[in-house]
Amino acid sequence: MAEPDAIRYPIGPFHFDAAGAPARRAEWIAQVQALPTELAAAVAGLSASQLDTPYRQGGWTCRQVVHHLADSHMNSVLRVKLALTENLPRVKPYDENLWAMLPDSRGDIAPSLALLQGLHTRWALLWRSLTPEDFARAFDHPETGHCTLDWALAHYAWHGRQHTAHIAGLRKRMGW
């Protein structure tokens, strides 16, 4: 059995290197754009009972992970747009664990997969349009402080890959 930290952080914990960010933007944008396809492949062919299996003890089910990615990335797109159109806007956090317990997080994953496809297509277009100065813009998050758009791009590229790896790792461990 894999180590608990390797299951919780299959690609490693998030680490942001601000100095190296400009050189990695294109890579991160490509990862953002690829998420919907990679996530769809990770859940392809899973049965309802497999989708309802937690990826780790005490963790969310595969179904909840898919819906969480849609919820989280919708919020992030809005935060990015606020940062681009306002001066250091304060954004509202939300309780992702409570959101994962709402009835829509137990529903069919197809709408969330479709939402992610459209959202990430637009998001990648937006990211590619930004200037170096735009990436320095920021929003103020009550829990994490000032978050630059470079940080947001790096974080959400990691976030999508991390959760996709949760599902892929479960499939591997279970032999699905």
Digit-coded pLDDT (tens) for 30-85: 999 999 999 999 999 999 999 999 999 999 999 999 999 999 999 999 999 999 99
Name the residue among 29, 28, 31 with its Cα closest to residue 17: 28
Q: Give the pLDDT score at 2.
A: 58
Q: How many residues does the chain have?
A: 176
158 close to 9: Cβ distance less than 8 angstroms: no
CATH 1.10.1040.10 fits 24-174, yes or no: no
State percent of the chain over pLDDT 70: 98
Q: 3-class SS at 54?
A: strand
Q: Give the pLDDT score at 23.
A: 98
Q: What are phi and psi of 147, to 5 degrees?
A: -115, 115
The span from the CA of 134 to the CA of 84, in Å, is 7
Instruction: Name the token pair of 124.
Output: 């990648």
pLDDT class of 3 with cuts at 50, 70, 90: low
- pTM of the complete model: 0.95
User: 129 to each of 93, 133, 161, how far by Cα in Å?
Assistant: 26, 11, 23
Instruction: Name the token pair of 68.
Output: 């969480």
**Residue 43: partners with Cβ closer than 8 Å, 6 or more residues away:** 51, 62, 66, 109, 113, 167
CB-count burial class (<10 Å; 0-12, 13-18, 19+) for 44: exposed
Please name every residue paired with 139 in a beta bridge, in sequence order, or none if there are none: 147
Residue with tokens 């890959």: 161
The span from the CA of 74 to the CA of 92, in Å, is 13
Q: 57-71: per-residue pLDDT in tens?
A: 999 999 999 999 999
